[in-house]
Amino acid sequence: MAELKTEIIALADYASLSKENKLSIAGIFDRIFITKLPGKWSKMFLVLVLKGDKESSHKLNFSIYSEIGKEKILEKDIDIRLGDNGKANLISELIDFPLKWTGEHRISVKENKNEIGYCLFSVVETGGDFKKDTEYPN
């Protein structure tokens, strides 16, 4: 039995699956800029691509938490079944995602409490003060 692995874990501005299960991802990012905390990020997509045994079933848990306080921001359990190619594409649309802390955050994917993949993203508070007299090169 092959071990289940994550091939892609990403946050994106948009993601979709075609009727043929082809994955499209637009605007992958790993930093969120926000003018004031606490706040909310209006919309983003969490994208996972998993690989393992053909047509095998798995119970997964994914969570997002701040590294500062180790506080979970989101947790979700999902059942998946890999296709005849041993892969599965998953997309979760996150709306009004709560942001409370600056710094690094972790997205963790687990099967049976064992982490099979993770990715990191940072939250940066800009304060909303942008220089109006900034010169930009032509």
What sign for the dihedral angle of Cα 20, 24, 30, 36?
negative
- The answer to whether residue 137 is domain-embedded is no
Do 6 and 50 touch, CB atoms closer than 8 A?
A: yes
Are the C-beta atoms of residues 38 and 6 closer than 8 Å to each other?
no
Q: What is the mean pLDDT of the chain?
A: 89
Total domains present in the chain: 1
Euclidean distance between CA atoms 38 and 30, whole angstroms: 19
pLDDT, position 1: 56
The residue among 67 and 104 whose pLDDT is bigger is: 104
What are the pLDDT digits (tens) for 20-32? 989 999 999 999 9
Indicate the DSSP class of residue 100.
Answer: -
pLDDT of residue 17: 95
pTM of the model: 0.85
CATH number at residue 73: 2.60.40.1930
Domain housing 107: 5-125
Number of residues in the chain: 138
In a domain, 132, yes or no: no
Q: Please report whether residue 80 resides in a domain.
A: yes
73-98 pLDDT, tens digit each:
999 999 999 999 999 999 999 999 99
